[in-house]
Structures are given as C-alpha cells and as structure tokens.
Amino acid sequence: MDDLEHVILLASDSPAAAAASPSIRAEALAFCARARDESPPSSLLRLCLSGIASSPHAQVHFWCLQSLHDALLRRRLVLPDDLALLRSSLLSLAVSSHAGSPPFLRNKLAQLVALLIRLEYPHVYPSYFIDLLPPAPPQPGPTDMFARVLISLDDDLLSQEYPRNSGEAADAMRVKDSMRAQCVSQIASHWHAAAVTLRTADPAAAAVALDAARRCISWIDVGLVANDVFVPLFFDIAMSPGSASPLAAAAVGCLSGVASKRMDSRAKVGLLRSLLAAQQGLGSPDNGLKMAPLVIAYAAEALECHSRLGPSDADGAAALEMLEEVLPAVFAAAESGNDEDVDSGSVLEFLSGYVSTMKAPSEKQLGHLGRILEVVRVQMSFDPVYRGHLDVLDKIGKEEEDLMAEQRKDLIVLFRSICRVAPAAAQLFISGLIVTALSSAEASVEDVEVALTLFFRLGEAVGEEEIRTGAGLIGQLVPMLLTARFSCHTHRLVALVYLETVTRYMKFMQEHVQYVPHLLGVFLDNRGIHHQNAHVSRRAGYLFMRAVKSLKAKLVPYLDTILAEPARCTKSIHFYELAKQGY
C-alpha cells in the first residue's frame, strides 16, 4: 500500500505531484487507472479499505472512496461477503465521522453510502437509516454526515427535479416507501433536535440538517413538519437576527417546501392559512426581503388554489385573499435585485398568472398592477456597471445587450397583458416615468432607456387608431416625447430607443400635423442625423426615410427646411433621392 499511496499522491494535487515532471505524473495516473480497473474486485476492496484506514493523506482517502464507488456502480463488487465488508466499513466510517474532516471526503463517503442504500435497502440490509441516525443529543459530526447521506441520496436517486430512467424511478419508490414505513418520523425528530441544539453551537451543521429536511418534505407526510413544533421553529430561525445566513436560508427553504407540498386544493388552502397564522405580517415587505423564496412559493400556491377552485368557491375566494395579503412581500422580493434568493423566472410566472385572472380590475388590483409594472421596470433595467460598454458597444456591451434582449421577452409579454386589462393604468405609469426622466437633470441612462422602451412597447399594445387619434394619455405623451431632450441623450442606448419610439408613434402626426416641425427636429438635429454616435446617425437617416414615406404630402410644406443645409442632405443619400421623387 505504501507504493500505491506514493503513486496516488503523484497523480493528485499534492505537493509531491507539483514537484514531479509531467512524464512521472502521466505514469502515476496510468498506474492508478490500472489498479482501479484491472485489480480483482475483492483485492481492490481490501486495498482501498486498507488505504482509508492507514493513510494520513486525504488524497489517498478520496481515491480509495472514488474507486470503490466506481466498482460498485459498475457492478464489479457483487459477492455477498465483499458487500457485507464494504457496508460495515462504510457505516463505521460514517458514524464516526467528525465535522473537521474535509467536506469533499464527507461528500464522497456520503455518495458511496447512498449508492449502497439504493442497491440494498431494505431487502438486503434494512437498518441503514437506523444505524446512521445520530443519537440524541445531536453532535455536529454525525449530524453533518447523516445529512450529507440524505442529500446525496436525493441528488442521485430520490429527487424528481432530474430525469430518471424506469429502473431509477423504481428504486426511488422502493427506498421512499420503505423509509416512510420504517424511520421517517425518527428522522424528522432528529431534524428538530439538530435545529434546536446546533443553531447556536454549530450553525453549519444545523443548516445542512435543515437542507436535508427541505429535500425530503416533498415526499414525506407533511404533518411531520407542518405542525406547531416545526413551523414556529422554522420562522424563528428565519427571522432571528442572530441566525447565520445559511441556516436562515435553510429554514426558509423548509417553509417553502411545506407551502409547495402537492396535495388537494382544499387541504392546501388550510395549510396556507396555518402558515399565515403562524407568522403575523408574512406579507410585509420586510418579510419579502428576508424570506423571498417562501413568499413567492406561497403566492404561487395560493394562485393555483384559486384557479382550481374558482372565485365563487369559498376556499377559492379565501386563497385569493391570502394571495393578495402576501403581495407586498412578493413585490419587495422581486424589486430587491437579489438574484441569489429570488428566482426571477418563478416571480414572472406567478405575476403573469395573477394578471391573467383579472377581467375588470378593482381599485385594489389596480394598485397591485402598478407595483407589477414597477417590477417589470426594475427587471428590464440595465445594470449601470455596463453603461460605458453599452455606449461603445464593445464585446462586453454586445453580450449584455443580447442577454437583456432575451431576459425582456417574457417581461414584455407580461407588460402587454397589463396593457390589455388596465390600459389607463399602464399609460399613467409610463407618463410618470417620462415626466420624471424629463424633469431630472440627473436621470440615469438606465432609467431613461427603460422608460422609453416601455413607451415603445405600449405602442405595440394599443391599436393604430388609438395612436392616430391620441387616445387616452397618448395625446399628451407623444408631444412630450417629440420635444424631449434628456440629459443623457448622447448615450447610444437612449438615442436609439428614442428614435425608435418616435417612429412607433408616427401615425399620430398624420392626424396632428402641427407636430410635424417637432418631428423634423428629432431627425435633423443632434438627436438624429447630427448625433455624435455614427450608428445613431445612420439609424436616424433610415428612420427618417420611413417617416417621409409614411407622411409624404404632409412634409411638402417643409421640404425647403429639410434641404436647407447641404450638410444635412449629405448625412443620408436618402434625403436627396426623396427630394428627386418630389416628396
């Protein structure tokens, strides 16, 4: 074993490997591969167990565990005596594991134990979980190891978040059914004891225990954790200022798992009601910031119950009331910009579903729609970090622009939905954005760009007749737009979206010819063909050509103005060609 230990160290990331030549390392890697793949299975088993027991090097322990995992996965280890020896050795290692050992070793040991459980539980060896369950009071090392085994089992077999073949699905069902019948209640008691005992003494061990609990909630009896013992504890950990961040996040994850538990809609309404009763003010913005995954999951589940039961059903109506009670927290979470805690896709899916339930929004719902529009604005805004890159459109700027274009697709769909159910509210919101952008000399590039982008998208949502006549606030917004000079108009993003938005509302000028001179100013001054950015200038020339084709005869009185300065004519060959055509 001493020679193999030396070779393993040469093949790993040890100091010995760093000092060795590439050829020596290559020989060491080849030797380790032969030892793993060509040794008789029983010999490999004993060699690896000896290495784990005798070597002081973590790299050797990892190689031995990995080799045993490969042999077991490839069904090289099949003899009952070999499997019994492996089982007893691994259980002994797991039970005696201490929190000070390297995490990568504990993870690999947990992965190997989880594979054995899949192959042997309960028909060959029914006592895996009884043997692994830490005794009371929970200690950090055994608690951490037991949790890692459950997490590995979830990752490799039990979780339905990953595609499984029929064999894996059958194995997962067998393991779950056996655990439910044998030991889940004892495991749940351990989770509670670990959270209570270790939340202060060893928050990391408590956090990993609750993370394991979160993963199991979807398939165990929800009553084991959705009760007066667990739920107050979860909320206390999540909201306590003294809770370490990973531990608080794990407690929130457990509560989210409870809220998302699959069950009959009426039973779910009762469950959601109990969570609301357990934490007063669950819908407050502060709770939205501290427990974002929970409030988003809660709102989505309440919406689903309302959709299934219907507004005329008492429980369906109650679900909608509970949903609207937590909306302030959802909005706070969505606007926080905390990508680590907030799944923007889940938020968007929920908000889209909520808007789709509205037919004739009430005053209260109109207020909610205003907040949803703000969420859309926030999520459609560029990060100021990329402002310079987006102006010159270098490689970084192009990547960010493409990424934002993709991110905005679903947000634009949501915005259009709001425009359909509450057009006046959408126009009022955009009017506020435009007025704010124009009235502030310090309006940022990002705020102005997103305000103009939303105004542009509003033009897609309303009909051409509404644009032509200036229905609603459009009759006020378009003149405001035509005379606008934003403090950040020199930026490429602002200048381009400004020109595109003016073009979007071109039909307004057909009915309101008094604004044609303002339109000409947009394209012919430094907002258009005289813009300092060449790309903006060229785009202005192209869009002006479209404007001329659209307005035609209405521009004839201004032809001298258009051609007054030769410099302007030479900015775009289109102007000369159009003049020859008599436009």
Summarize pLDDT for 471-515 with one digit per residue, the tens.
888 999 999 999 888 888 899 999 999 999 999 999 998 888 899
Paired tokens of 501: 């938005």
Report the pLDDT value the prediction gives residue 580, as an integer from 0 to 100. 44
Query: Closest Cα to residue 481, out of 447, 521, 510?
Result: 521
Measured CA to CA, the distance from residue 312 to residue 319 in angstroms comes to 11
**CB burial of residue 526 (10 Å; 0-12, 13-18, 19+):** middle
Report the pLDDT value the prediction gives residue 2, as an integer from 0 to 100. 58
Query: Residue 320 domain-assigned?
Result: yes
Query: Closest Cα to residue 119, out of 92, 155, 84?
Result: 84
Q: Is the dihedral of CA 369, 374, 377, 383 positive or negative?
A: negative
Measured CA to CA, the distance from residue 235 to residue 249 in angstroms comes to 11
How many angstroms separate the first and last alpha carbons of the chain?
A: 92
Residue with tokens 């913005």: 285
Query: Residue 176 domain-assigned?
Result: no
Report the pLDDT value the prediction gives residue 146, as an integer from 0 to 100. 97
Res 566 pLDDT > 50: no
* 61 close to 52: Cβ distance less than 8 angstroms: yes
Helix axes 492-504, 474-482, angle to 10 degrees: 130
* 301 close to 342: Cβ distance less than 8 angstroms: no
CA angle (30, 35, 40) in 5-degree steps = 150
Q: How many domains in the chain?
A: 1
Report the pLDDT value the prediction gives residue 345, as an integer from 0 to 100. 86
The residue with greater pLDDT, 180 or 162, is: 180
Residue with tokens 């947000």: 411
Query: Residue 515 domain-assigned?
Result: no
Q: What is the mean pLDDT of the chain?
A: 90
* 220 close to 185: Cβ distance less than 8 angstroms: no
Query: Residue 157 domain-assigned?
Result: no
The residue with greater pLDDT, 525 or 186, is: 186
Query: Closest Cα to residue 534, out of 410, 425, 408, 392?
Result: 392
Res 343 pLDDT > 70: yes
3-state SS, residue 206: helix
Confidence of residue 10 (pLDDT cuts 50, 70, 90): confident
SS3 of the chain: helix, strand, coil, percent, to 5:
75, 0, 25
Enumerate residues 6+ apart whose C-beta is below 8 A from 307. Answer: 353, 357
CA angle (395, 413, 363) in 5-degree steps = 130
* 250 close to 214: Cβ distance less than 8 angstroms: yes
Res 552 pLDDT > 50: yes
Quickly list H helices, 217-343. 230-239, 245-259, 265-278, 285-290, 292-309, 314-335
Dihedral, 436, 437, 443, 447 alpha carbons, nearest 10: 100
Measured CA to CA, the distance from residue 124 to residue 371 in angstroms comes to 58
Query: Closest Cα to residue 367, out of 403, 328, 406?
Result: 328
Query: Residue 309 domain-assigned?
Result: yes
Query: Closest Cα to residue 84, out of 124, 36, 129?
Result: 124
How large is the average pLDDT for residues 29-40?
90
Query: Residue 365 domain-assigned?
Result: no
3-state SS, residue 136: coil
Paired tokens of 486: 């934003």
Report the pLDDT value the prediction gives residue 578, as an integer from 0 to 100. 46
Enumerate residues 6+ apart whose C-beta is below 8 A from 20. Answer: 10, 28
Paired tokens of 367: 């207020």
In sequence order, what DSSP letters do the residues of 483-532 get, joined into one string?
Answer: T---TTTTSHHHHHHHHHHHHHTTHHHHH-GGGHHHHHHHHHSTTTTT-S
Structural domain including 337 reads 221-355
Res 20 pLDDT > 80: no
Residue with tokens 């608690």: 143
Measured CA to CA, the distance from residue 69 to residue 62 in angstroms comes to 10
Res 30 pLDDT > 60: yes
Largest CA distance in the chain: 100
pLDDT single digits (tens) 246-287: 999 999 999 999 999 999 999 999 999 999 999 888 989 998
Query: Residue 278 domain-assigned?
Result: yes
Paired tokens of 347: 């938020």
Query: Residue 506 domain-assigned?
Result: no
How large is the average pLDDT for residues 173-177?
97
- Helices then strands, each counted (H, E), the chain: 33, 0
